[in-house]
Amino acid sequence: MLDWTDRHCRFFHRQLTRHARLYTEMVTTGALLHGDQHRHLDFDPGEHPVALQLGGSEPADLAQCARLAQRWDYAEVNLNCGCPSPRVQRGSFGACLMAEAGLVRDCVAAMRDAVGDALPVTVKHRIGIDRIEDYEFVRDFVGTVAQGGCDVFIVHARNAWLDGLSPKDNREIPPLRPDLVYRLKAEFPHLRIVINGGVRSDEQLRSHLQHVDGVMVGREAYQRPWWLASWDREYFGDSAQRLRDPADAERAMLRYCELAAGQGVQAFAVVRHMLGLWKGQPGARMWRQVLSDPGRRRLAAPELFAEATRARLAA
């Protein structure tokens, strides 16, 4: 979700679900240690609970970044060992780290030593890399990394092909094998195992929860965000009805856009994350076209939302 789940996106998603844990886009250790920390780490307190996802492979650097996550009051710090992009591989982190379980263990241990029990340290990874498809590979990876003090593993249930596939193809071509993730939970019952990859319906979500401790939903949640509005009731036992329909979410985000404008943020930087809000509803296409129209990007939020609503209702 690199370049997508920024702070505006997360604030929007938090209007839809109060309880699901939100994750930042992956931030490299170099960007935090040598760049603008406030730009990468600042978030609205209303986003909580939110986890910081890190990309890196140097234990000392990751330990420093874990301390920053604690200082900024994140609820979790997550090490990404699943991203297959060539740019990430050139930095020697992401999915290629699955070939170095001992190093990942040492990274986790350094992060745990830095923050103690104050902040959970978790790992996100794949079930394998390239043509390594045997269960023993991912089993040994999890077993080794757990020795460093990680007890939460978020497992994308498909291999990462480090050569020959684009990042987009890596999300679609390697087959999903949820049975391997289920086996991990059976073999490591003391660990929390969360499954990720290809989840598009409540039926799939409920099916996974019969075998594992949690489900991470990425692109479907982004592309069909109104789905999130049912999660608090369906999965967290919270029956409070905060939003009746997508229009309520629009109104909440209009207020946010107006506040953000006072900080120099253009409305489009926020509404680009909302384009799927009315997906599947009459007029959704016209509403989306208005919000994404380059010619309207300089409009103030009230005018932009009003035009989009007029177009939706007219359609």
- Catalytically active residues are 83
Instruction: Say if residues 71 and 37 touch (Cβ distance below 8 Å).
Output: no
3-state secondary structure of 222: helix
Token readout for 7 is 């702070």
Give the integer Cα–Cα distance in Å for 93 and 192. 23
Helix residue spans in the chain (DSSP H): 7-16, 29-34, 37-41, 59-71, 86-90, 101-115, 135-146, 167-170, 178-187, 202-209, 219-223, 231-236, 246-261, 267-271, 284-292, 301-314
Q: Are 111 and 62 in contact (CB under 8 A)?
A: yes
